[in-house]
């Protein structure tokens, strides 16, 4: 049973301590907020929000850090370690790392221009990780829409508003060429690029990510406002400027129920923010 007041007696300053570390990290790394909210998402989708993602390999643990979606991709662990260390100085042994991830996610959205909300706290950290479950549960950018929906349903979210609103987190942060380059030249063995990709953006991405080139080159997920948390992600989808297949198909899958939701969020940022907060809170209370 999570509560906003969970640390009121035992660590009343926890949010300020984390905020201090976050603001400091932001000064040298504008991307850190995006990286941190992604850690919270990748934690919650595997065994619930229990900080299992943070555990390193041991004799008995196969880390989630090296799962398909996280390996050479998830980042920000050093900042989480600094947050935990700072919290330990003031309230040793009290605050869970799963709560630190949830708080950091909310503050990252707020610091980037998005909404703020009241964090529900009191998660317990797990002593086990599950790499195969991470491989299974974390959505692939190449997956069809039906598969993305199912992965959200599997963790107690829905494949409509939750999927579309939370995908809106791609309003900031970066992605590597290897996560979208299948769209650029010979899409699904058609001999042509993905027809749902805007041709101007296509040309730019072909230059950035040539065939046989370096798959770890980075580009912005939201090419309009790359570091601001806003609804431009959705207006981009309307003009076929989503970066990942999993982004664009929310709008470009014929007959999909997600199209109307994209259109609503594109036209009304307040509606997006409200749904986003609601879905983040529900994702954040998922626990096994």
Which active-site residues does the annotation give? Answer: 42
Alpha-carbon distance 164 to 233, whole Å? 11
Q: Which of Ca ion, ligand HEM, none interacts with 47 (beta carbon under 5 to 8 A by kind)?
A: Ca ion
Per-residue CA distances from 148 to 35, 75, 166, 287 (Å): 21, 23, 12, 20
Q: Which of ligand HEM, Ca ion, none interacts with 34 (beta carbon under 5 to 8 A by kind)?
A: ligand HEM
Among candidate residues 170, 172, 167, 174, the one with its CA nearest the CA of residue 275:
167
Tell me how far, at minimum, the Cβ of 15 lies from Ca ion, in Å: 22
Nearer of residues 11 and 166 to ligand HEM, judged by Cβ: 166
Tell me how far, at minimum, the Cβ of 211 lies from ligand HEM, in Å: 18
Q: Which of ligand HEM, Ca ion, none interacts with 43 (beta carbon under 5 to 8 A by kind)?
A: Ca ion
Tally the residues of the chain. 288
Nearer of residues 2 and 244 to ligand HEM, judged by Cβ: 244
- Chain residues that interact with Ca ion, rule: CB under 5 A: 43, 46-47, 50, 52, 171, 222, 225, 228, 230, 232
Helical spans, DSSP H, in 154-244: 161-167, 199-208, 232-238
Q: Which of ligand HEM, Ca ion, none interacts with 171 (beta carbon under 5 to 8 A by kind)?
A: Ca ion
- Chain residues that interact with ligand HEM, rule: CB under 6 A: 31, 34-35, 37-38, 41, 73, 75, 139-141, 148, 166-167, 169-170, 172-176, 179, 221, 244, 246
Nearer of residues 18 and 209 to ligand HEM, judged by Cβ: 209
Tell me how far, at minimum, the Cβ of 96 lies from Ca ion, in Å: 12
Alpha-carbon distance 172 to 155, whole Å? 24
Q: Which of Ca ion, ligand HEM, none interacts with 52 (beta carbon under 5 to 8 A by kind)?
A: Ca ion
Could you give the dihedral angle defined by the CA atoms of residues 130, 133, 134 and 138, in that order, rounded to the nearest 10 degrees?
Answer: -160
Quick one: tokens of 285? 């209370």
**CA 132 to centroid of chain Cα atoms:** 19
Among candidate residues 90, 127, 104, the one with its CA nearest the CA of residue 24:
104
Contact 197, 183 (CB under 8 A): yes
Nearer of residues 193 and 283 to Ca ion, judged by Cβ: 283
Nearer of residues 11 and 76 to ligand HEM, judged by Cβ: 76
Tell me how far, at minimum, the Cβ of 71 lies from ligand HEM, in Å: 9
Alpha-carbon distance 269 to 68, whole Å? 33
Alpha-carbon distance 223 to 187, whole Å? 22
CA triple 279-143-192, angle to 5 deg: 130
Tell me how far, at minimum, the Cβ of 158 lies from ligand HEM, in Å: 12
Residue nearest to ligand HEM according to CB distances in the complex: 173
């Amino acid at each position: 049973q999570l509560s906003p007041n969970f640390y009121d007696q035992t660590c009343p300053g926890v949010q300020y301590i984390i905020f201090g570390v976050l603001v400091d990290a932001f000064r040298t790394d504008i991307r850190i907020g995006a990286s941190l909210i992604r850690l919270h998402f990748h934690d919650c989708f595997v065994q619930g929000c229990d900080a299992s993602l943070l555990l390193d390999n041991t004799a008995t643990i196969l880390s989630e850090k090296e799962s398909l979606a996280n390996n050479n991709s998830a980042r920000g662990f050093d900042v989480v370690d600094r947050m935990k260390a700072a919290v330990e100085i003031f309230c040793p042994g009290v605050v869970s790392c799963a709560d630190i991830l949830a708080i950091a996610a909310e503050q990252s959205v707020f610091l980037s221009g998005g909404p703020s909300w009241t964090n529900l706290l009191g998660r317990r950290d797990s002593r086990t990780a599950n790499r195969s479950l991470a491989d299974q549960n974390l959505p692939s950018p190449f997956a069809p829409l039906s598969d993305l929906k199912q992965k959200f349903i599997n963790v107690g979210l829905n494949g409509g508003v939750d999927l579309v609103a939370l995908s809106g987190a791609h309003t900031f942060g970066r992605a590597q060429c290897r996560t979208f380059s299948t769209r650029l030249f010979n899409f699904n063995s058609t001999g042509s690029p993905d027809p749902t990709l805007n041709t101007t953006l296509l040309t730019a991405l072909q230059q950035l990510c040539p065939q046989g080139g370096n798959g770890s080159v980075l580009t912005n997920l939201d090419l309009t406002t790359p570091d601001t948390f806003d609804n431009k992600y959705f207006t981009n989808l309307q003009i076929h400027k989503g970066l990942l297949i999993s982004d664009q198909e929310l709008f470009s899958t014929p007959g999909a129920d997600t199209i109307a939701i994209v259109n609503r969020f594109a036209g009304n940022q307040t509606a997006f923010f409200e749904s986003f907060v609601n879905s983040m809170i529900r994702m954040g209370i998922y626990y096994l």
